[in-house]
Structures are given as C-alpha cells and as structure tokens.
Amino acid sequence: MDNNYQTQSGYLTIPEEIFLLSLYEKEGDTSLIHRKTFDLVLAGSILMDLAMRNCIDTDLEVLYPDRIEPTNDFVLDDVLMEIGTRGKNHQSVSYWLNRISLKADEFRDLIITSLLKKGILRIENKKIRWFSTALKYPVLGNAEVQEIRSRVREVVEHESGIPDIRDIVIISLVANSNLLELVFSKDELQKHTPRISQIGKMDLIGQAIAESLRESIVSNIKTRTRELLGLKDQSPEEKLEPLIEEIKMKFGIESDERLPEWLRKGTGQYLKTIDFVRSKGTANIVYNTYTGKYSVRNYSQHMHIFGSGQ
Amino acid sequence: MNILKNSVDETIVLDIEGRLDTTSYPQLEAYMGDLLKQGATKIVLNLSSLDYISSSGLRVILKTLKEIDQKGGALYLCGLNDHIMEIFEVSGFTELFQIYSTREEALNNIDS
C-alpha cells in the first residue's frame, strides 16, 4: 500500500498530516495541538500509519506486531520498536493509545523537526524555546494544509462513494478529535454528520480513539462534578494514583517496588510527595531527583524520574 | 488461508477458508486484482469457513468493493459467522455490502 501522502513538498506520514491539519489557518497557532485529548489523536495517527504499512494489525480486542522493519521515520520507528518488544503480550488498542500518548510531547517535537526538514514549516523567532504555546509555526504557502483539508471535504461531501483507505484513516482521526471544526462550518458539520459518522466507524483504531476519548471525558466530568457538588475531594494518595500508573506504563514498571522513591509507598520521600500534593491540590507534579525539589508539571518540563543511582 | 474458486454462470464464488489478516490479505488482494483484470463483475465471497478477520482483512475487502464498484460490478458476501458479523456491524460494513446468510441465498438474489 502507498503509506505516505505526496504533497508538493514531499511525502507526509499520517501523524504529520494530522499535525498540519491541527494548525490554525491564519496564525499557525499551536494552541489546539497542546490539548491533552490531542495526545490520544496523535497516538492514534501513529498506530494508523503503522497499520497502513502492515507493521501492526488489530482486531476488536487486541493490537499485535507483524512486520517490525524500520520505516525511516523516527516517530514511527520509536513506537514500532516498543510494540515489537511488548506487543507480543497482545494488549488492546486503547492500551497502546494511552501508552503512546504519554510521549506525545516528544513525538510532537520530532514531527515538527521532520516538517521543518521537509520545508513545510519554519520557525519565526529562533530565540523562542520549543514546546512553548507562544511559538508560531507559519505554514509555508499553506498549500499542504489546504490540500489535506480539501481532500477531507471532498471525501465527506461525495456522500455515496467509497473512500480510499488512507482517506478513511484521516477522516476517522479527524472525526474523533476536535479537528472537524477546522475543516467544516457548523452548518456543514450538521449536514454531513451521517457521512462523517459512517466513515469514522470504518477503521477499528479510529473507534478505539473515540472510546478512549470518551473515557477521558467521562473521567474529567466525574472530577468536575465532585468539585461542583462539594463532595469530599480525593486524598493526596488517591490523586497520585493516576500519575503512578502513568509512570509505570511509560517506563514499563511492573512492580511497585521498582517505582522511584518519591512514588514508592512507605518511603520518606513518598510522604514528602504527599505533602506537596496536599499543598498544591494537584498531583500533576514532577520531582527533580538532582535538586530534590518538587514543582507543578507543565508541558515544557522534562520529568526526572530516576536519580543517578537508579 | 485457502481460496477455492467456483463459477456459477457469470458469477464467481470464492470460498475463503482460514484467517484473513496481515499475513494472508496480500494473497486475497492479488487474487481479487487478477479477477477484476480478467473482467469479473459479479463476485461472491463465501466467508462461512473464515475463522478470523483483522483490520487489514477488512481493508482489502473494502478496497475490492471500491474497485469493483468503479468497474460497474458488485461484490457480495455470505456465510458470516457471529464474530465476523459483529466486526462488520461495528465498522459499519453491513451498510456497504450486500450480505447473505448462505451461498445459495446470495446466488439466488444475484440471479433475481
């Protein structure tokens, strides 16, 4: 199968297409791409690209590796190597979506680097740090973005046709994220909802993304509802649980005994972590093992999980 | 995966046995491509002996539907077991394909 879409500037991977599609038309604003939910969409785009290359396969329940061969794309190869190592355990698509989404920041940078090399993006101000939401990424000529959006529109508006497989993949990703509003007006969205829903279902990975996003939204609604109703807030220990699970997934830690000290229950450092969570009211934190200091996490920070001795 | 071919008048019936996944889909893809090049316009895929289908199998079936549709032909499916049918329902493929319970039902409906 042809796995890359050829634009005037060269071949784009599916993650690159989705990234470009998410850029606002006028200012190259990147605020959309830093929303947490977009991490899942990006993860889905990586899996879909690998599926199109027959590197992985999926069914209703599991994802499994097939051809573990280099793709010559850093993002795809990174994920493929991990699936090749751990995928034999036959985890679900949702599992891999969540796992891959943990590295979304890193993958975004790699995608940006690739697009810069392909001459599709440029940096306006070289003094501005990467990852910053203030950084603008103007699209050279905007041709590539318009090309992708035009293709999406054409497929959706041609209501009776069977789309190409790659178009199904792109539209399935777009349909299960916030990106549709960048392609269609509200009236058009309302008109084309049946067609978009039909195409969005055709890919099983797209369905898994939709399911993962729904779970994420439900979880956020539950948390917000508790706050609004004045229900007893979670304890710091309860708040830390998702972070612990995230670290375990990200680093392949299977036993709690192998967690870093600041997250390992029963240690003095863990108690300090609890105190910090209690003081800040959030477990969205990082711990710098070199300086011994805690801080509230933001997207521009790298997390120091293990000290030099671990 | 095994593919057994039969012809009933102008209709080609393919009995698909085994698994249709990333390993076997190229075989079906090539087979269908050859049939279309030879001018086949009515194809029935009998999936009654198909044990398993993955995303890649779904993609090749959809691709074949698109190609045969562009040539003015038709692709029919029959004999889907409960699990395969579930996958087709979840992915919305039941809205795209004419699906029959048995090979005979498919052939009777094509003739009529």
Angle of helix A14-22 versus helix A104-117 axis, rounded to 10: 90
As a whole number, mean pLDDT of residues B2-16 equals: 93
As a whole number, mean pLDDT of residues B62-83 equals: 93
Facing residue for A204 by CB, picked from B55, B65, B66: B55
> Nearest chain A Cα to B85, which residue?
A60
Domains of chain A (ranges, CATH numbers): 5-201 (1.10.3630.10), 236-296 (no CATH)
Cα dihedral: A277, A279, A281, A285 (round 10): -40
As a whole number, mean pLDDT of residues A65-74 equals: 90
Residue of A49, A56, A162, A169 to mutate, testing the B interface (most B Cβ within 10 Å of its Cβ): A162
pLDDT category of residue A147 using cuts at 50, 70 and 90: confident
Taking the Cβ of residue A68 and every Cβ of chain B, the question of whether any pair is shorter than 8 Å is answered with: no
More confident residue, A226 or B87: B87
**How many CB atoms lie under 10 A from the CB of residue B91?**
20
- Return the domain boundaries, chain B: 2-111
pLDDT of residue A131: 38
- Whether residue A185 is predicted with pLDDT greater than 60 in this model: the reply is yes
Distances (CA, A) of B60 to A44, A173, B67: 20, 20, 10
Shortest Cα distance from A249 to chain B (angstroms)? 25
More confident residue, A179 or B48: B48
The mean-pLDDT minimum among A79-88, A139-148, B78-87 falls in A139-148
Question: Would you say the C-alpha torsion A51, A57, A58, A62 has a positive or negative sign?
Answer: negative
pLDDT of residue A220: 66
- Whether residue B25 is predicted with pLDDT greater than 80 in this model: the reply is yes
pLDDT category of residue A300 using cuts at 50, 70 and 90: very low
Report the 3 state secondary structure along A118-145.
Answer: CCCECCCCCCCCCCCCCCCCCECCCHHH
pLDDT of residue A111: 92
pLDDT category of residue A127 using cuts at 50, 70 and 90: very low
CA distance B89 to B87: 5
Residue of A53, A69, A165, A168 to mutate, testing the B interface (most B Cβ within 10 Å of its Cβ): A165
Q: Which two tokens stand for residue B82?
A: 């409960």
Facing residue for B55 by CB, picked from A57, A67, A162: A57
pLDDT of residue B111: 67
Residues 44-63 of B with CB under 8 A from A: 52-56, 58-59, 62-63
Which residues make Cβ contacts (< 8 Å) with residue B6, sequence separation at least 6? B12, B13, B14, B15
- Whether residue A259 is predicted with pLDDT greater than 70 in this model: the reply is yes
pLDDT of residue A180: 81
B84-102 residue pLDDT tens: 999 999 888 998 999 999 9
pLDDT of residue B74: 93
Q: Across the strands, what pairs with A285?
A: A296
Q: What percent of chain B has pLDDT over 90?
A: 80
pLDDT category of residue B36 using cuts at 50, 70 and 90: very high
pLDDT of residue A47: 93
Shortest Cα distance from A7 to chain B (angstroms)? 23
CA distance A7 to A80: 25
As a whole number, mean pLDDT of residues A222-227 equals: 70
pLDDT of residue A35: 65
pLDDT of residue A194: 87
Question: Would you say the C-alpha torsion A109, A114, A120, A122 has a positive or negative sign?
Answer: positive
Question: What number does CATH give the domain B2-111?
Answer: 3.30.750.24
pLDDT of residue B73: 92
- Whether residue A290 is predicted with pLDDT greater than 80 in this model: the reply is yes
> Nearest chain A Cα to B88, which residue?
A202
Taking the Cβ of residue A202 and every Cβ of chain B, the question of whether any pair is shorter than 8 Å is answered with: yes
